[in-house]
């Protein structure tokens, strides 16, 4: 038998992923999205697929074609059709397609695009979100519409004129809000608003009407069962903190622009969902002054307002993706626990949470039919997410897709071993180790220490964000080690809060004692070890090489290195305020002591500083400061910058950039950790 191939960065183009499963209301059909990476176009392609669950012999079939990005399928409540979002016309719009198939058509033609379609319970209305500014809202309220273009040339010229007008509007850019940029772009003068349109039985839509107004953003949509109102969320401080202080609001679907906050100030609420009987709302809640490490608590409260009751308290885990059972008696949700993410259920009136679907995997999303049938997508240690079907009690699992079976048959996937160790203060830390699938008997191998960001994140053997990266490194001949030090989610609130006001010291000791435990196993060559991580783990990469000299080389990804400058340049200045109890211009000495840049003179490890040009979470200026200091000190350092990319490049950036980065990382580690590695003096 020929040996299997090692996994390489180019395998990114071969892998397929299932996303966003949606069961039809009667549980017979499941629609889902298949994502692939197109090498020639350097882009992602998404198509909607369909599977008839009533026919055990049925095979999945592709349901939408042509466009390179069809996503977010949403069943009409009678199960006869789907609404979905497509980029086939340029900007995203909501489309409609009958279950019987045929040509899809656009329900929306919003000038700035339309996303997040949600059907009303009776299937006669469709809500969605779209971005508009004050002038556009005024024109809508006055019933003003531009005349239809006379021909394609007129349409093209209008588009060019609009693009030029948009460009001039922000030249110069006048900034009066904070934050003023996010993702990869600066904010424009538009905010996200809620629209509703009537849709006839034949799928023909009427003109949409906007339900909200003002310079504020609305973040999600959930219908009240009578169709007379929609539950959404809106910041209590839209002028200065549009992402924070979120509170659930009730928005009537008729009449003037009105809304009613359903909870008092003092807490932030996310993922609010109304019960099918309209009596209750479930949501996550956190004090609006708490550390971001403070666990979100699952709460239930009356839909018309009233006392808030915590649920699943004994679980002490981050809950999310709430779905009510059809009888309004139970709430399903996902929760992270010691490296895995399972599906749980709790009675709305109280009692302990029960795990429905567990195992060594990460459930990314799921859908619940009225019948109780569940469809979920899960990433496993063996590879990318596939679709699984089960009943409401989690029994009779049926794997509905295996998109990467042929790829796995040809490639050597490194097993992932769970390892625990004791930190210097005795705290138990969970981690994982990969060994090269092919290695010489008795030979010691180099090690890559990989760390997670957040800091409030949890990694495990099925972590989708860096699974390929781990396997590429193992395929290149490296052992890989990663763990969940204090501050990580999945181990309870106390574990997550331990790093408040101290991001570096204890976390470093948690991680390095894990490296010591791995080296003690006798497989790793301690003279050929590399360290890497992104975002907060970029911070930790720099922190470690400023305090410890054991690593032969390092690769710091999109990190933050100076807490005072980060406060003034990041799109989340609140991070410093809430984690260090000071703004960036207060208690500067203490903030400097917690900044990796303060220890730059002790950094001697050869380092690559990776950054993305349009990263406004950890801005490029953070990497530039560290690079300039190390360069002036005469140290071995390279600054790597990727154009057009933001903070999410390694997870969802241009496929070509993701592959290039992995190739460069393997080559850099090879210089200092390979068989002919350079040795530092």
Tell me the DSSP string of 257-285: S--EE-S-TTEEEEEEEE-TTSSEEEEEE
| Average pLDDT for 330-354 | 96
The pLDDT confidence band at residue 238, using thresholds 50, 70 and 90, is low
Is 25 a residue whose pLDDT tops 70?
Answer: yes
Average pLDDT, the chain: 94
Quick one: CA dihedral 679, 525, 472, 20, positive or negative? negative
Nearest alpha carbon to residue 522 among 444, 451, 625, 405: 444
| Average pLDDT for 80-90 | 94
Q: Token digits for 130?
A: 């779209």
Tokens 């040996």 belong to: 3
The pLDDT confidence band at residue 176, using thresholds 50, 70 and 90, is confident
Q: What pTM, to 2 d.p., does this model score?
A: 0.95
The pLDDT confidence band at residue 60, using thresholds 50, 70 and 90, is very high
| Average pLDDT for 464-478 | 97
Percent of the chain whose pLDDT exceeds 90: 84
Distance CA 521, CA 241 (A): 49
Q: Reduced to 3 states, what is the DSSP secondary structure of residue 164?
A: helix
Nearest alpha carbon to residue 554 among 638, 631, 457: 638
Q: What is the pLDDT of residues 89-146, one digit of tens each?
A: 889 999 999 999 889 999 999 999 999 999 999 999 999 999 999 999 999 999 888 7
| Average pLDDT for 283-287 | 93
Q: Report the range of poorest mean pLDDT among 54-58, 368-372, 408-412, 539-543.
A: 54-58
| Average pLDDT for 408-426 | 97
Is 1 a residue whose pLDDT tops 50?
Answer: no
Residue 480 bridge partners (DSSP): 434, 448
| Average pLDDT for 331-336 | 97
For residue 354, the model assigns a pLDDT of 96
Distance CA 66, CA 657 (A): 25
For residue 292, the model assigns a pLDDT of 86
The pLDDT confidence band at residue 212, using thresholds 50, 70 and 90, is very high
Burial of 609 (0-12, 13-18, 19+ CB in 10 A): buried
Distance CA 618, CA 645 (A): 12
Distance CA 415, CA 320 (A): 29
For residue 363, the model assigns a pLDDT of 97
Phi, psi dihedral angles at 355 (to 5 degrees): -80, 130
For residue 589, the model assigns a pLDDT of 96
| Average pLDDT for 338-351 | 95
Distance CA 299, CA 395 (A): 27
First to last CA, the chain: 45
Is 545 a residue whose pLDDT tops 70?
Answer: yes
Q: Token digits for 46?
A: 């998404």
Distance CA 231, CA 639 (A): 46
């Amino acid at each position: 038998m020929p040996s299997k191939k090692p996994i390489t960065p180019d395998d990114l183009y071969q892998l397929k992923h299932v996303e966003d499963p949606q069961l039809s209301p009667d549980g017979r059909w499941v629609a889902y999205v298949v994502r692939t990476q197109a090498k020639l176009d350097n882009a992602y392609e998404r198509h909607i697929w369909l599977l008839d669950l009533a026919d055990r012999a049925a095979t999945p079939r592709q349901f939408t074609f042509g466009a390179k990005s069809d996503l977010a399928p949403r069943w009409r409540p009678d199960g006869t059709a789907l609404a979905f979002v497509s980029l086939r016309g340029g900007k995203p719009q909501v489309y409609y397609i009958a279950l019987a198939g045929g040509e899809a058509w656009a329900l929306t033609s919003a000038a700035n695009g339309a996303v997040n379609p949600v059907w009303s319970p009776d299937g006669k209305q469709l809500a969605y979100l779209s971005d508009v500014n004050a002038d556009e809202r005024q024109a809508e309220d006055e019933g003003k519409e531009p005349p239809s273009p006379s021909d394609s040339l007129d349409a093209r010229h209008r588009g060019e004129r609009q693009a030029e007008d948009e460009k001039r509007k922000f030249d110069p850019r006048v900034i009066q809000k904070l934050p003023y940029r996010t993702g990869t772009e600066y904010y424009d003068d538009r905010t996200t608003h809620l629209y509703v349109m009537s849709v006839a039985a034949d799928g023909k839509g009427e003109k949409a009407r906007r339900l909200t107004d003002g310079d504020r953003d609305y973040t999600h949509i959930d219908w009240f069962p009578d169709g007379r109102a929609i539950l959404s969320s809106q910041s209590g401080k839209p002028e200065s903190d549009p992402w924070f202080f979120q509170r659930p609001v009730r928005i009537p679907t008729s009449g003037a622009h009105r809304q009613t906050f359903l909870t008092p100030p003092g807490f932030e609420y996310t993922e609010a969902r109304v019960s099918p009987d309209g009596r209750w709302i479930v949501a996550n809640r956190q004090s609006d002054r708490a550390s971001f490490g403070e666990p979100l608590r699952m709460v239930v409260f009356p839909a018309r307002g009233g006392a808030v009751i915590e649920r699943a308290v004994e679980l002490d885990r981050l809950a999310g993706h709430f779905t009510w059972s059809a009888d309004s008696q139970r709430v399903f949700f996902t929760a992270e626990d010691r490296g895995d993410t399972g599906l749980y259920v709790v009675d709305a009136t109280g009692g302990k949470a029960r795990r429905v679907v567990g195992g060594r995997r990460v459930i990314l999303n799921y859908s619940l039919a009225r019948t109780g049938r569940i469809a979920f997508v899960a990433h496993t240690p063996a590879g990318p997410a596939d679709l699984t079907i089960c009943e409401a009690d989690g029994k009779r699992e049926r794997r509905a897709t295996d998109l990467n079976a042929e790829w796995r048959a040809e490639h050597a996937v490194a097993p992932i071993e769970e390892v625990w160790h004791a930190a210097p203060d005795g705290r138990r830390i969970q981690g994982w180790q990969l060994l090269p699938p092919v290695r010489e008997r008795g030979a010691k191998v180099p090690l890559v220490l990989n760390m997670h960001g957040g800091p409030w994140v949890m990694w495990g053997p099925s972590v989708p964000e860096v699974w390929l990266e781990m396997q590429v490194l193992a395929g290149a001949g490296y052992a890989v080690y990663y763990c969940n030090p204090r501050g990580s989610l999945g181990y309870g609130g106390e574990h997550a809060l331990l790093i408040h006001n101290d991001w570096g010291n204890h976390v470093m000791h948690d991680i390095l004692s894990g490296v010591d435990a791995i080296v003690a196993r006798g497989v790793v060559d301690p003279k050929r070890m590399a360290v890497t991580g992104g975002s907060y783990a970029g911070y930790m990469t720099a922190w470690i090489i400023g305090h410890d000299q054991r690593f032969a080389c390092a690769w710091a990804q999109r990190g933050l290195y100076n807490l005072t400058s980060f406060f003034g340049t990041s799109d989340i200045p609140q991070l410093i305020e809430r984690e260090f109890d000071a703004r960036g211009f207060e208690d500067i000495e203490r903030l400097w002591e917690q900044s990796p840049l303060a220890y730059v003179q002790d950094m001697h490890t050869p380092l690559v500083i990776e950054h993305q040009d349009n990263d406004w979470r950890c801005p490029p200026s953070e990497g530039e400061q560290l690079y300039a200091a190390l360069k002036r000190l005469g140290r071995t350092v390279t600054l790597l910058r990727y154009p057009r990319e933001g903070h999410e490049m390694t997870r969802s950036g241009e496929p070509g950039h993701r592959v290039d980065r992995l190739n460069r990382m393997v080559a850099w580690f090879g210089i200092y950790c390979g068989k002919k590695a350079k040795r530092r003096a």
